[in-house]
A and B are shown apart, each in its own frame.
Chain A
Amino acid sequence: MIRSWSGQRRREAALRGLVLAIAVGIVLLPLIWTMLAAVGIQPDNHTSPPSWVVRPSLDHLADVSTIEPAFWQELATSVGLSVGAAVVAVTLSFLAAYGIARPGRRAARRLNPALLVLATLPAMAYVLPLRDVVRRFGLLDTIPGILLAEVAATAPLAVYVFIAHLAGGSRDREEAAGIDGASPLQILRDVVLPDAASIVAATTIVLIVLDWNFLLTPLVLTGINVRTLPVVLTDLFTLEREVDWPTAAAALTISFVPLVALIGLLHRVVERFNLAGGDPSGDAT
């Protein structure tokens, strides 16, 4: 019985390994194909069987700033804007979530699914009038204009996650601090925030990725002064500038680097992100 059990376990592990290896292969194939082209290694599909043209070089990476002279500045804008918008959204969302979750669990449970629906509202439904609103505030084509738009778009998701976390946790320590005479602000700072540090950090990273990937909002709200990387990539590949594949691959590779570095360094943190609100650190084994 025990032997057949362990045999079944081994077969399951082998099958799991096979399926995950295929999944990893499918995920990595286009990314590796792109990175190889970026450093001058490309297939030659004119021969049969096909061959590889191997001319390793970093020239294509340098070419990116030739076809788009402001590329590095635009990369810096994207980094600053994504981090800034995520930090502002998380800060405001955490305060709001605390204000919503603390009157009572029933209010939080009722409001929270509606916040998720708001988080899914497509930008196309509001971005055209938003351009007019932002113009009237004198913020068109400015960092604050686009930053606030990204905060408004991502904050509902952050509030949803924080409410789920706050509504699910124990309030004993908060009650005890309240009895000891701590003000709500002190309780928020000294009790609630430290308890929620991991979900706050994970949500910040998730929002950085979402902000980094926004296209439609910056495309409509920016122009000459502020340009984010997705807008630049769209311009490069939709305005018939006929960028060749190695240069395109180089631009794509550079655009991957900041987020891959962020997640590579902080993947343990981002693994704590949980839509349902609990702490996933206690893995079932």
Chain B
Amino acid sequence: MRLTRLERLILVGPLGIVIAVWLVIPALLGLLATLTNYAPNEPFIHLVGLRNYELIFADRTFASAIRTIAVFTVAAVPLELVVGFSLAFLLRRPFRGRSLVRLILLLPWLVSPVASGVMWHFVLDSETGFLSFVGRWFGLPSLPSPLSQHALALPTVIGVEAWRVAPLVAFLLLPSLATIPRERWDDACLDGLSEFGSIRHVALPAIRPSVLAVTMLLIGGALATFDSVLTMTGGGPGTETVTPALYSYDKAFAFSNWPVGATSGWLIGGAVLLAGVVYLRLTRTDS
């Protein structure tokens, strides 16, 4: 069934308009704004060249934010993929109670990043938290929250994000794993492949497109990390957990410096698009 050009236009047009006006045009305006003194209610908008970029790259807080998000992305994305895939692998075969386990493992994803940040802030707190509670059983003094310690804050934020996202990875990969015919697992077993051999030679090749798509989603989410950090640590202690998105938001709304806010926001967008180019190349190679 071939559609005429008019029919295609009618089908694609409405969403095309919404995405163009509410996403693509603002994104392009954002890119343009990085080269101007753009701000709401600014009567005279003019080009400033690369001054906004110079200001950002001279700012030590932004340098710290870049380091933080690099560590965060490099640590959190593989961790979420490995844990998520492992859970999906264990859930691929039916067993009694599987449906309930799948439902429970979906719960962290239902907790918004904001709520997750608030919840873990208190759950790790020395007065109200779990760690101190366990420590007291062993006669230890009340343990300070790891979120308040320079060396532990970022690893803790990474762990909390993995708690929220890894089960979602399992949810997204499980359908692809479930479509691998049983005979292929049995053949692998008869060929003498270990569990890791089956994963490498049966599972991963079969679900590669899904793994690539999920990785792209995870990288986009990690680079844009904002909500959970805002409520969990506010970027502290010091600037230990400031992310570029948090920096951007602070600049735009706390310091009313929209040009710098928009520029740092676009640098995050640029990093995601760069990852997107790699993803597009990999999917093109596959097809």
Interface residue stretch chosen among A55-63, A66-74, A247-255:
A247-255
Docked Cα-Cα span, A160 to B109, in Å, equals: 20
**Set of chain A residues within 8 Å of B8, measured between Cβ atoms:** 99-100, 102-103
Known: A28-B104, A252-B115. A127 touches B217 (CB 8 A): no
| Shortest distance from the beta carbon of A192 to any chain B beta carbon, whole Å | 9
Taking a contact as CB atoms under 8 Å apart, the answer to whether B245 and A124 are in contact is yes
Contacts of A117 in B (CB 8 A): 216, 272-273, 276, 279-280
- Closest residue of chain A to B3 (Cβ to Cβ) is A102
- Given A249-B122, A256-B115, A267-B99, is A120 in contact with B276 using a C-beta cutoff of 8 Å? yes
Taking a contact as CB atoms under 8 Å apart, the answer to whether A42 and B12 are in contact is no
Contacts of B273 in A (CB 8 A): 117, 121
Check B112 against A255 for contact (C-beta < 8 Å). Answer: yes
Q: Are A278 and B175 in contact (CB under 8 A)?
A: yes
Q: Which of A186-220 contact B (CB under 8 A)?
A: 187, 209, 212-213, 215-216
Residue A49 lies at the interface, judged by CB distance under 8 Å to chain B: yes
When C-beta atoms are compared, the residue in chain A nearest to B219 turns out to be A120
Q: Is the CB of B123 within 8 A of A124?
A: no
Interface residues as binary, B229-246 with A (CB distance below 8 Å gives 1, 0 otherwise): 011001000000000110
Interchain CA distance A129-B117 in the complex, whole Å: 27
Tell me whether B179 and A122 are in contact (CB under 8 A).
Answer: no
Cα distance A43–B123 in the bound complex, in angstroms:
11
Q: Is the Cβ of B26 less than 8 Å from the Cβ of A122?
A: no
Q: Are B99 and A120 in contact (CB under 8 A)?
A: no
Q: How far is the CA of A254 from the CA of B262 in the complex (A)?
A: 35
Given known A-B contacts A19-B90, A284-B182, A26 and B163 have beta carbons under 8 A apart? yes
Q: Is A103's CB under 8 angstroms from B21's CB?
A: no
| Minimum distance in angstroms from B99 CB to a CB of chain A | 7
Assess whether A123 is in contact with B178, with CB atoms less than 8 Å apart.
Answer: no
Interface string of A28-71 (1 = CB under 8 A from B): 11110110010000110111111000000000000000000000
Please indicate the chain A residues that have their CB under 8 angstroms from the CB of B245 in the complex: 122, 124, 216
Q: In the complex, which residue of chain B has the Cβ closest to the Cβ of A177? A: B1
**CB-CB contacts below 8 Å: B149-193 with A:** 163, 167, 171-172, 174-182, 185
B119 to A284, Cβ gap below 8 A?
Answer: no
